[in-house]
Structures are given as C-alpha cells and as structure tokens.
C-alpha cells in the first residue's frame, strides 16, 4: 500500500511529537526518559529510518543549540569520522561490528554525526 505525501507528513510529525514526549521535551513530561541509542533501537525498516531522519530534521530546526555539527559540511565530516571509528563504539556498547549495515545502523550513524567531532 502506497502512502500519500500528506499521510507521510502527518506520521512524521506524530513521530517527532512522540519522541518529544519520550525525551521530556514537552511541558509536563519527565526529562531524559529515552537515550539516543534507545531511539535508534526503534529503526528496523526504511520507513522507520525516514521517520527518524524527520525527527533529526525537526530537532535541528527547533533546537540547533543541542547540535555540535549544524552545517552540512560539519555534519558530513563528523559522519565520516564516526564511520571510521565505529568499531570502538560497537566494542564499548558490547555489540558486534556490523558487516552489512542495517536501517538501525544508518540511524546510529546519522545520530552520532549530530555531536561527533
């Protein structure tokens, strides 16, 4: 079943709102309930990744002060550096280094580039 662009936007906004609530970004919610790595654990399909990227875009638009790498060149350079150093991340997390990246691994890369130097 094919989704319309309008439906995709509604779902993306709902997803962003969902993560705002989970992360305590909304008045009346508890702060810091979900870690960034917890968020990537919800990414299993291409559609999940698309929604996750929408969440990152929303985060950058609404809270750029929480991003270390706000320009596209900085973000891409951080992404490349994290990919090169990913073995250390997976070793520290007690996870095997993926031989073939999954949708979740792509989400981890995208999220890491937000702060990685």
Separation of alpha carbons 19 and 34, rounded Å: 8
The predicted structure's pLDDT at residue 28: 42
Residues 6+ apart with CB under 8 A from 36: 111
The predicted structure's pLDDT at residue 106: 95
The predicted structure's pLDDT at residue 15: 56
pLDDT digits (tens, 9 = 90+) for 34-47: 555 578 889 999 99
* HSE value, Cβ hemisphere, 13 Å, CA-based, for 5: 0
pLDDT, average across residues 95-110: 93
| Unique residue bearing structure tokens 């992404």 | 79
pLDDT digits (tens, 9 = 90+) for 46-68: 999 999 999 999 999 999 999 99
The pTM for the full model equals: 0.70
In terms of residues, how long is the chain? 117
31 DSSP 8-state letter:
T
Domain residue limits, the chain:
5-112
The predicted structure's pLDDT at residue 9: 57
Indicate the pLDDT class of residue 26, thresholds 50, 70 and 90: very low
Separation of alpha carbons 22 and 100, rounded Å: 30
Q: Which residue has the higher pLDDT, 15 or 82?
A: 82
The full 3-state SS of 6-72, as one line of letters, equals HHHHHHHHHHHHHHHHHCCCCCCCCCCCCCHHHHHCCCCCHHHHHHHHHHHHHHHHHCHHHCCCCCH
Indicate the pLDDT class of residue 31, thresholds 50, 70 and 90: very low
């Amino acid at each position: 079943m094919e989704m319309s662009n309008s439906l995709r936007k509604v779902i993306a906004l709902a997803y962003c709102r969902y993560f705002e609530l989970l992360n305590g970004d909304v008045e009346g919610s508890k702060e810091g309930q979900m870690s960034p790595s917890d968020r990537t654990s919800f990414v299993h399909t291409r559609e999940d990744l698309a929604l996750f990227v929408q969440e990152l875009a929303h985060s950058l638009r609404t809270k750029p002060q929480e991003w270390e790498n706000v320009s596209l060149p900085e973000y891409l350079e951080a992404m490349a550096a994290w990919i090169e150093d990913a073995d250390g991340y997976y070793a520290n997390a007690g996870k095997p280094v993926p031989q073939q990246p999954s949708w979740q691994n792509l989400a981890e890369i995208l999220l890491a580039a937000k702060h990685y130097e």
